[in-house]
Structure 1
Amino acid sequence: SLREWHRLSGEKTAVWTEIQSKLPTRVFMIRSLYPSDPNEGFLAAEIDTAFLWDIGAENTLPPMTEICILDHSKNLLASSLPDPENFLVEMLAKMKSPHSGHFSWENGGDEFISAYWDIFIPSGFFSSNWTVVLSQPRNYVLAPISDFKKIFTLVVVATFLVIVLLSMIHIRRSLVPLNTLKEGTRLIAAGDLTSRVKITSRDEFEDLAASFNTMTNKIEKQFNTLNKMTEIDRAILSSLDTRKIIHTVINATDDLLSCNLTVLCIIDSKNTNTTSIYVRSGDQGKEDQIIMSNITLRELQRLVADKEYAFVHMNGDIPSYLEAFANTGINSFLVLPIYQREKLLGTLNMGYISPDSVLDEDIDHARQLVHQIAVALSNSKLIEELDELNWGTLEALARAVDAKSPWTAGHSQRVTNLALEIARALGPSQTEMDVLHRAALLHDIGKLGIPAAILDKPTTLEVEEFRLIREHPRMGARILEPISAYSEVLPVVLQHHERFDGRGYPNCLSGDAITLGARILAVADVYDALVSDRPYRTGWTPQQAAELFRQEAGRQFDPLVVEVFLRILAQKKESVRPIETGMIKSCVGEASDNPDLAGRPLLGVPILKRESW
């Protein structure tokens, strides 16, 4: 047309299509030879649409993909379909939207899915937009979905298994530390405070394990401290011996507290200016070191002022009771006064090489220990006072018995001293020594029931009088019988006039049937009676008494006790002269069985010659 002709003037190129009946539409490109003069002619060229869309011999379209190109009038420009005419009719019927869309169609029993859209052609080509239509078989398009449906279950199961596996791994990583912590908790609950948990998970569980071990360390330390405190409390509160209490304290405090030296000072209750200082010996099995020291009034006043505790630095004013430790390497002492009912009993002194090593918990434990020491020392002191009262009462009773006659003054105490000396050589226990001590003091308590006229009678005793005297051991046992604490004393008091050969009184016991204490007491009693003056005779010399014991060993006296006794006499360097012949005629008879009647005239009984006394 003329209008199109004028458009070709210039340097523009036009795209033109030629519709042919029953033949593919041809596409041309036209351009003026001389843009300045269109009348000079035009250059026209036909476009190879197959080459343009790569649908020729070498089809480069994606697999299973067909393409159709339509011009603006929906004429077919190019197609990769073998029979595009049938498709074109159906396609044009289903293209609802003028610019783009999709639809499905069938061809040869196969269902296709198509999508179309316009290709914008710039206005300079004098052509309207073309339409591109791409088609693929429906089963090919939906094949991925079909395949996905097939593998979806497997994917879900695999995913589930992976999740389960990862969960198990995570749970295991959590459960193993939890089980470790649980086991550690169980061991602690069972009393095993030495157990520790080890977790190297490098996460919160490892931090929790570290906190758990820190807590366990503190619990173990507190528990061990409580156990040691309990052991110390039990030891010192169950003991009534002051030395044992002190030994326990100074040997256990170093282990309980973090001090380097423990010093216990005990103030003399009778002389408050004197203190006994106890220090643990460095060698096992050795006795604790004891240092005697004075304490000044000023130091006592300072202790009274510092009732809780005080620190003493060894480079300053050192109290007299700590002067002995000035050059031991100890730089400071924690001094805790020991009070009982407002009375100062002493001090517990804990020495430290480094002053910074004093812990607050050590001070608390030391204060608690001081209270227990005060109670223990108070109990011990009470027992010591009761013990002194007991022994004082016994000695008073013994003096009361001896006071019945001026001739027996001091007899019970002398017999006691000799009996204990013999017993020590035989090596009895302390309990047996205490029983003998009490029995010796009270052995003649039965004489309280015998008239003094009979005891001091200078002339011959009647048989009835002698029978009464023989009853004094039994009377003594009856006097002591109500005192249950003296149940072990009774046999010694009752048997001290029994003979080793069974001819003594009151029960004619013999040999080992007589308690050892009574056999010892018999020797000591007879010796003191023989060497003491009586109203009916003068005392024998030690040599005369020694000879009698040699003769009567195995008969009246236990030969072992006699042997020990004679050895003691020899050690005392007693002068024993040779005994003159006829000096001792007989020691066999009732008179010799009672030391108070030895050498005493008795009707119808052989006696010692008066000239030998």
Structure 2
Amino acid sequence: MKIFNRIKDFYSTMRIRTKLLLLFMIFGFFIAYLTFILSVITASIELRSAAFSTVEKLVSRNSSPDVIESFIGKKYNRAMISAIPFLALEGYHEGDLLNIKSISFYLFEPSKDAWYMIFFDKNDILIKEEVTDKAELFVLNEALKKKTSFKDYLYWGNNDSYSLWFNLTGSADRNFYLLSIIVQRKGIVEIGGIFLIAGSFIIFIASFLSARIFSYYMAIPILKLKSQASSIASGNFDLRIDIRSRDEIGELSLAINTMAEEIKLMIDELNSRMNAISTMNKIDRAVLSSLSRFSLVENVTAIVSELFTDLEVFLAMADEDNKRYHVLVGNNLARRSESVNSFYVDFEKLGEEIIAGNYYFYSLSHEENEDVLSELNSLFGTEYFYMMNIPIYIEETYVASLVLGREKDVPFTDFETDTSIAIADQVGVAMKSLRYIERIESLFLGILKALSKTIDAKSKWTYGHSERVAKYSEAIARAMNLNDEFIHNITISASLHDIGKIGVSENILDKRGTLTSEEFGAIKNHPVEGAEILEVIPGYEKFISGIIYHHEHYDGNGYPFGLKEEEIPLMGRIIAVADVFDSLVSDRPYRKGMSVEEAKEILKQERGKKLDPAIVDIILQIV
């Protein structure tokens, strides 16, 4: 087995021309060998046929009984040859392929129940000798049962012999007579000599020339196919080989071209599927981790933009109570207008037919739905050629639509549609979680706002202060064109900005005179204490910056950390301006509230000192 494997390995290293030469030589020698075998077998058959024909003539010609027995005891003569021609065949050669090795006659005398072998002695006198060997007797009795029989063996080209048996008994004979002819078949090696050398040389030359011719015509297309296969292996699936042939190589070329095309399509499909799988993983991490509607639409927008670069997306939240859609716009669509990242659309503007249609999946094209698409484009300020609505349900209740649009005249593909539906399903799961989060948040906010109002109510001078600061902060943020999520967060943060004063005594809050250092220390600590109250509530960290930094000064002289300028988060800087303005126009134990104009003058004086000058300029325009 090891030798076979080594031969196979060695053969695999040969070039195709060498292989063809070797194969043609092997084939040539095989044909020569087969020709030799068939020649010997043919000569054997011809000899057997000739012998049988001679026996038939001999038996029919010898009318006298027991002719063979009549020659026993007589010397070899012409009459014997005439009556028994087989005597002359011993040593006969058939074209150097066969020769008769021996001829034997046997006599069976029924009266004695004995077999005798008839042969010439050294004096050429024909005598008989009784056969006593049991094995030989068995063969003789078996041969006597048939007119002719032979014991032959498969011939493989080696030197061997076989026997022919003929029944020579005539109808008038009292005894039975058998003829045995031993035929020798010569082997290839025995014949050898010039014939073997010349034949080998002719076979080698013919094989060599045939191999060269065939390899030339086979190697060229095979080398082309090899080049194409190497190109495919390196990732180039665009190379095609045109072999104009109807044989197997032509079919192989066509098969490789087809394979390259199919592999290219499969790889493209696989890449798309891999991108989809990667996208779905991102959806699981990003969409399902969204803690607000604003972050949800941003995450969805980012995912869709990464996967489909020419699609725009927005989330239309159905507000059944107010009969309108709250349309949340992602960054890829918000670029159309820096001041808009969400807007409302009344149901009546869309029409009952469109509202009813939003409960189901549909796709609009400029070719088939020009009127509806044109109306939606004018409503949303878009120029889509194609638009897709994917309804989102929570527990079988319609809550929103994921809407995708494309400004190019390219229809949605099945892959885009399937992937977008999968995204919408995940958005539905995320929205269900968001509803729960919003309810919990609303509950906590209600408690915190009630607590904040309680703190404001501890002193008649601060009653309603937090609500007014929240209103001013929201107005400033909107004037700065900040996004809806920031506006939502700063409004809540401003309403809770003084929640840390829960531990400050009413005597300190209502004191008319100057505060002592210890009392001022208690006041200065309320931003940190307020932040500590909110930081233990999951998801409320987004409100902390407005609470902890609203007493930082733009020039760095504020508290609790002494930050300055851009080091102070934007939310803290906005609330600081709103807080100062409301404090100026409100009554305090130690003074009356100022007029708006007086407060504006103070704000101008604090530009670049306590307060951010850009934010001061904005509040001066809106109050």
> Normalised by the size of structure 2, how large is the TM-score?
0.48
Rg (Cα) greater in structure: 1
Q: Which has the higher contact order (CA 8 A, sep 6+)?
A: 2
